[in-house]
Structure 1
Amino acid sequence: MKPMFLRTFSAGLAAILLASCGPESPEPQGTDIDCAIGAGSDFAPVCTLERSADTGTVSFLIHHPDGGFRRVEYDAETDQIGVGDGADPLKVSGASTDEIAEFAIGDDRYRIPSNMLRSPAQ
C-alpha cells in the first residue's frame, strides 16, 4: 500500500501533465515577411505580420515561427517606425529603401515592404 502523500503527489502530477496537453494555438493571421531571428541567422519568409490601426498610428504584431513576437508601430505623420512595447530599441538599417523597411530589435532583424507600412488600415 502506498503512503498517502505519494498517491496525492501522483494525482497532482497527472493533472498537471494533462493540462499541459491542451490544444495548439491557431496559426497567426497576416502576411508572411522576411525575418532573421537570432544572432547570425539568415533572412527567410518565416515571420507573419499582423496589422491593426488605432487613431493615426498603425500597430503591427510580428509573429516568429517559434511562437515569439514583436510589436512595432508606424506613425504616418512622421513616417517613422518604432517599438510598440518591450525593452529593446528598434534600429533602422542602412539597407532600408523606398520599397523595403529593414530594422532590428535586439538580435532579430526584419524586412517589411514599405507599402504595407504606409497603406491605409484594413
Structure 2
Amino acid sequence: MNCLLCLALLSFPLAACGPGKPSSTQVAAGQTAKQAKKFAGDPRIPCARGAAALETVCTIEQAKGETGPILTIRHPDGAFRRLLVTNDGRGVVAADGAEVAKVGLVEGNRIEVSIGDARYRLPATVRSATKPS
C-alpha cells in the first residue's frame, strides 16, 4: 500500500510539468528546420571545377554549427566542401580545411564562392550600404 502512495506522489510533479516553454534544444531544432527550408524545394545548386561551365548538379545541406549555420555542398562524385554562413557581410567562409573561400557578388542576388578549383553559386541576401548623413 505504501508503495502505491509513493508512486502516486512521485508521478504528481511530473504530471504538473506539462508542455511549458520549449527547451533550447527544441528551439535550435526549429531554427535549423527553418533554415533548411531555403534549400528544401530543390537542394541542388550550380557548381563547377576548373574552367568547366556551371551546372546545377551539386547538392546542398544545411546544419547548425557552434558558430552559425554550416552548408555542406556535395559534388556528384562524392567530393564536398563545408561553408560557414557569416553575419558580418562576407556571406560565407570555409568551415574547415586550409583553402580560403573567395566570395563575389553576381547577378540576381547570388554569390559565387570559389575554393581551390571549385566554384559554387548560392542565393544571398544583399544588404544595401547606408550612406552617412
Give me the TM-score of the superposition, normalised by structure 1.
Answer: 0.61
* Aligned position for 2:93: 82
The root-mean-square deviation of aligned C-alpha atoms, in Å, is 2.1
Choose between structure 1 and 2: higher helix proportion. Answer: 2
* Aligned position for 1:103: 113
* Aligned position for 2:53: 42
Give me the TM-score of the superposition, normalised by structure 2.
Answer: 0.56
Paired-residue identity, %: 33
Counterpart Cα distance in 2 of 1:73 and 1:53: 10
* Aligned position for 1:66: 77
Structure with the bigger RCO (C-alpha within 8 Å, sep 6+) is: 1
The answer for unaligned runs of 5 or more in structure 2 is 1-39, 126-133
Report which of the two structures shows the higher radius of gyration computed on alpha carbons: 2
| Corresponding pairs, count | 84
Q: Which aligned runs of 4 or more in structure 1 are off by greater than 4 angstroms?
A: none
The answer for unaligned runs of 5 or more in structure 1 is 1-28, 116-122
